[in-house]
Structures are given as structure tokens and as C-alpha cells.
Amino acid sequence: MDKILMNQMAFYGYHGLFPEETKLGQRFLVDVDLMLDLKKSSRTDDMNDSIDYGEVYDVVKEIVEGEPKNLVEAVAEAIADELFRSFELLDACKLKVTKPDPPIPGHYQSVAVEIFRERNV
């Protein structure tokens, strides 16, 4: 299946279980793989036959920088739900939401949640 990939979109949000996360906030990185048929758009060269990257960015930004959620899992699910509502051509999506600096002890690069969702027809 064809894909549009948007990687490492960076936002500042207030999601988390710990008080400092909801008060101080933190960075979130989001990767989105949009699965759809790109054959028509590649031949017509018409944005109406594809998905506008700028609009995808705006959807993700609104959710990540919006209403706080306890779990990154809920953030990822909200993004997937809104992408399907917003883009009729979208068949499936894979999302990765990363917290580069979560307030938990230990040495690691980041923590992340990755989900895959398909349109329910």
C-alpha cells in the first residue's frame, strides 16, 4: 500500500499522570504513516486526489497541544480518530507518539507508543 510519511513532528503538550507533566508540560514527537492509494494523485498531480500534509500537521498539533490526557496511548488514539474523520481517502494509519523526556528514573533515549488503525467500513 502507498504511504505518506510525516516524521518527528514536534509539539509541546501537557499529557501525563504526574503533576509536573500536566503543570510544566513537555515535548512530544509524532510520526505518522498515512496509507492510501496514491496512484490517482500521482497521475493527476491534483491535491484533491491526495491528503494535504499541512492539514495533517494541523490535526496532530491540535490534539497534542490540546486537552491533556493521562496516557500517551489516548493521545495516539485521538489522533487516529481525527485523521479518519478528516480525510476520506485515508485507508489506514500508523502513529508513533514519543515522549523524549518523561519524568521517570533511568537511562534511555525516550518512551513511545505506536498504534496501527484501519478504517472501519
Domain extents for the chain? 3-118
96: helix, strand or coil: strand
What is the model's pLDDT at position 108? 86
Q: What is the percent of the chain where pLDDT is above 90?
A: 87
Distance CA 21, CA 99 (A): 11
Catalytic residue numbers, as ranges: 99
Q: Mean pLDDT of successive 10-residue segments in the chain (121 residues)?
A: 97 94 95 98 96 98 97 98 98 97 86 96 66
Of 47, 51, 32, 39, give the one whose Cα is nearest residue 90: 51
What is the model's pLDDT at position 106? 87
What's the fold here for domain 3-118? GTP Cyclohydrolase I, domain 2 (3.30.1130)
What is the model's pLDDT at position 121? 66
